[in-house]
A = this chain, B = another copy of it.
């Protein structure tokens, strides 16, 4: 049993264990042209919160819609420890239609089809403003970053509770940020 076989077995075992736990790619991917590739498996990332018909929403409509926010697991763990977002942080905003009447439900609202997907990514070496926003059109696998003068940036810079992100609307992270002293009022 030589060291090379030994090493391969360990690498194989670790890879198998990781594959079982994390089949999805949680690192942001970009094409050669700098377009972002649609995140896969973000539904298995960490859920931060959801809202219904929030007025600040990028896709506000007359009928209220749900927005669900997810973040990649590694960034979540890092935030829990430090109250700050690491490079590679990828926040996904999934917008879904709402329905009231369905099955046994006769009031309130539950979630139905996806109608929008927006992504907020931190990559200090790639983006002049450290973060960028991407809006994925239906059935398109890549998206171009919003221009740096778009309203996303000014609103998030002005109102983001932690590093241009709306942690004020994510109740579990809000507590962490307050505890770590990274929360801006």
Interface residues of A, Cβ cutoff 8 Å to B: 1, 3, 6, 9-10, 13-14, 16-18, 21-22, 43-44, 46-47, 49-57, 64, 66, 68, 70, 73, 76, 96, 102-114, 155, 159, 161, 166, 168-169, 171-172
Contacts and interface: CB of A to CB of B under 8 A. Distances in A.
A109 B112 CA distance: 18
A157 to B, nearest CB: 12
21 contacts: A1-B1, A1-B3, A6-B9, A9-B10, A10-B13, A13-B13, A13-B14, A17-B17, A18-B21, A21-B21, A43-B47, A44-B73, A52-B109, A54-B110, A55-B108, A57-B108, A64-B108, A103-B161, A103-B168, A110-B169, A112-B171
A94 B66 CA distance: 17
A47 B68 contact: yes
Contact of A108 (B53, B108, B171): B53
Contact of A105 (B55, B107, B172): B55
A113 B53 contact: no
Contacts of A70: 47
A108 B52 contact: yes
Contacts of A105: 51, 54-56, 169
Copies held by the complex: 2
Contacts of A108: 51-55, 57, 64
A142 B9 CA distance: 42
B43 A43 contact: no
A61 to B, nearest CB: 11
Contacts of A107: 53-55
